[in-house]
Structure 1
Amino acid sequence: MSQELKIDSNECKLLFADPIQSESAGILLRSRLQASGRRMGFSDVRRENMVLVASEMVTNLIKHAGGKGMIQVWQQPGPALDIISFDFGPGVDDLALAQQDGYSTSKTLGKGLGSMQRLSDEFGIYTQQEKDAKHGRWHGTALWTRFYLNKHNSAGSAGLNMPAVAQSGFEIGVFSRALNDDRFNGDKIYLQQHGAKLRLLHLDGLGHGEIAQRVTSNLGCYLSVEGLDKLLAAVDHHLTTGERGAVAIAAEFDLSKKNLNVLGVGDMSAYVYIHDSINNLSFAPGILGREHKTPTATQLVFEKKTLFITASDGIRRGWDKDSFPRLFNQHPQLIAYVLGNVMPRVTDDQSICVIRLN
């Protein structure tokens, strides 16, 4: 297990997000992938694999969703490059059958799924049929593929050198998108691991834009403060001299004790998915750096299948596990992408962090 892991949501960058309505739309996508992969340091072979995956996604969107969808390319901590296909089609009837090589009908995604999975380092698929879409919110299919820059295979299937994120003992998903895809984002997620303990600080600066980003920048240093109450007190003190306040959630996972401690101030959301149910956590009202009530810690047993989700108020509430059947068994990164794309408020920055024991 890695003894130290640091993640800053500044590393989470949306590089491409366009609707795909025809094969010609894939030309810009492939060009952007080549340029982004080259800039990040991926080899020619790895970039070609990305292009092949993207081409399969374009074909699937047109053939099975009638061009009602989009493809996103994200740079993520790791470093890693993610390619996401998100459509508004009918969904897949039999997902297990659809993933078999050689199987293709007008109601499935066909044999391309197997090749996408083999070409990428991580792969996930989530589908919801129209008849299962609660409140008519969303139906379709989301495909996630990931390419790690630092993963190499030196001897067949042996000799894998995975990045710190993949060795941390946790599965982590991060989604952070600025309002109107502005260059400035007032939402910030910091993660830091030392040994068996993983710390999270998720902040939302009031408002949005450049000032909100300045408010929440450079606060990751407080993750080293002993005690979550003292951590939030230090952030509170820091923000008293700032231009705006912020709301925040602080959490600590202890692998040795199998517990989770959570503390928060302000209008943010946190959910714990355990034993097939989702529980919402509430936090002290107020604003850090301004006025707020004293926060009270919540301690939970953190079992292997427990899922912890935090979100800024840029993500709409009012969803539960029945809104997204089987989603919360998926990889945290795919969960973050689905919630971020289906549940955003179009008036604020949006951010989600999803954590599960690996």
Structure 2
Amino acid sequence: MQVGMAVRALNDDPHCGDVCRYWRQGHTMTLCIADGLGHGLYAERAAQAAVDYVGRHLTAPLEDIFAGCDQALHRTRGVAMGLAIVDEAAEALSYAGIGNPRAIVVGKRIFRLRNDYGVVGSGYRALSTETVSFRPGDLVILATDGVAETVDVSAYSLAERSNVQDLANRILRDWRRETDDAAVLVGRREGGHRGSVV
């Protein structure tokens, strides 16, 4: 699986409150995006604490990762967070999110995955998980709310989607909101139809 990431701080501040990371373990890939509340150093610290926690608990179920992260971030500003786990052997992607990250799966159809209300670090009422098919060639796009919710992935040609780093850069350039930090993470399973939409 190939991954590309693009991040931009508000006003090019040296501290960015939006962070993305990914980890591979065997046939499983974990993708995470975290948006620390507000901007600047303390938002960055909260987001970094979130991805650090995820990185130390990769084998736990999604529900346990979010619950543990919520406890670990109590003394921070807290974050909005989206977490996707790709099981390449099962050709499946499982996702959960708290707050307002964007999560899109692009294959033969486009799926926009849902999030639950709350803030990781100050509590949430429920966590819903979704599992969708994720076959060779499919794309997953995670973004913070510094990127418009109305990203039109179908506007990008197959050639433009073939390089995940270029696609992450293009989405950030084309859909970034100028009033916030922003981060985009794009993952694509190698082979297949390269995320073609019918």
* 1:306 pairs with 2:159: no
Following superposition, the deviation at residue 325 of structure 1 comes to: 4.2
In 1: Cα distance, 2:159 partner to 2:67 partner:
35
- Match of 2:104? 271
User: Given residue 195 of structure 1, which amino acid in structure 2 is its aligned partner?
Assistant: G
* 1:217 pairs with 2:51: no
CA contact (8 A) 1:304 1:357 kept: yes
CA contact (8 A) 2:143 2:183 kept: yes
| From 323, 332, 345, the counterpart of 2:164 | 332
- Match of 2:69? 235
TM-score norm. by structure 2 comes to 0.88
Of 216-225 and 340-349, more deviation after overlay is shown by 216-225
In 2: Cα distance, 1:320 partner to 1:327 partner:
16
**What RMSD over aligned residues (CA atoms) do the two structures have, in Å?**
1.5
In 2: Cα distance, 1:216 partner to 1:265 partner:
13
- Match of 2:113? 281
Q: 1:178 to 1:261 in 2, by over 3 A?
A: same
CA contact (8 A) 2:53 2:69 kept: no
* 1:182 pairs with 2:37: no
Partner deviation per Cα, 1:18-45 (whole Å, 9 max, x = no partner): xxxxxxxxxxxxxxxxxxxxxxxxxxxx
In 1: Cα distance, 2:61 partner to 2:2 partner:
24
User: Given residue 172 of structure 1, which amino acid in structure 2 is its aligned partner?
Assistant: V
* 1:261 pairs with 2:94: yes
Q: 1:326 to 1:257 in 2, by over 3 A?
A: closer
In 2: Cα distance, 1:329 partner to 1:183 partner:
29
Q: 1:322 to 1:259 in 2, by over 3 A?
A: closer
Following superposition, the deviation at residue 342 of structure 1 comes to: 1.0
In 1: Cα distance, 2:166 partner to 2:132 partner:
24
In 2: Cα distance, 1:248 partner to 1:259 partner:
20
Partner deviation per Cα, 1:332-354 (whole Å, 9 max, x = no partner): 11111111111111111110000
User: Given residue 188 of structure 1, which amino acid in structure 2 is its aligned partner?
Assistant: V
Secondary structure (helix, strand or coil) at the match of 1:217 reads helix
Greater RCO structure (CA 8 Å; 6+ sep): 2
In 2: Cα distance, 1:186 partner to 1:329 partner:
27
In 2: Cα distance, 1:292 partner to 1:327 partner:
40
Q: 1:240 to 1:287 in 2, by over 3 A?
A: same
In 2: Cα distance, 1:273 partner to 1:202 partner:
18
CA contact (8 A) 2:70 2:123 kept: no
CA contact (8 A) 1:336 1:354 kept: yes
CA contact (8 A) 1:191 1:198 kept: yes
Secondary structure (helix, strand or coil) at the match of 2:155 reads coil
Of 312-321 and 219-228, more deviation after overlay is shown by 219-228
In 2: Cα distance, 1:327 partner to 1:237 partner:
43
Q: 1:217 to 1:319 in 2, by over 3 A?
A: closer
| From 27, 30, 37, the counterpart of 1:199 | 30
1:115-134 mapped onto 2 (5 Å cutoff): none
In 2: Cα distance, 1:327 partner to 1:281 partner:
25
Aligned residues between the structures: 187
Residue identity over aligned pairs, in percent, reads: 27
In 1: Cα distance, 2:23 partner to 2:154 partner:
32
User: Given residue 310 of structure 1, which amino acid in structure 2 is its aligned partner?
Assistant: L
TM-score norm. by structure 1 comes to 0.50
Secondary structure (helix, strand or coil) at the match of 1:347 reads coil
User: Given residue 355 of structure 1, which amino acid in structure 2 is its aligned partner?
Assistant: G
Structure 2: runs of 5 or more not aligned: 191-198
1:128-143 mapped onto 2 (5 Å cutoff): none
CA contact (8 A) 1:327 1:335 kept: no
Following superposition, the deviation at residue 189 of structure 1 comes to: 1.0
User: Given residue 311 of structure 1, which amino acid in structure 2 is its aligned partner?
Assistant: A
CA contact (8 A) 2:160 2:166 kept: no
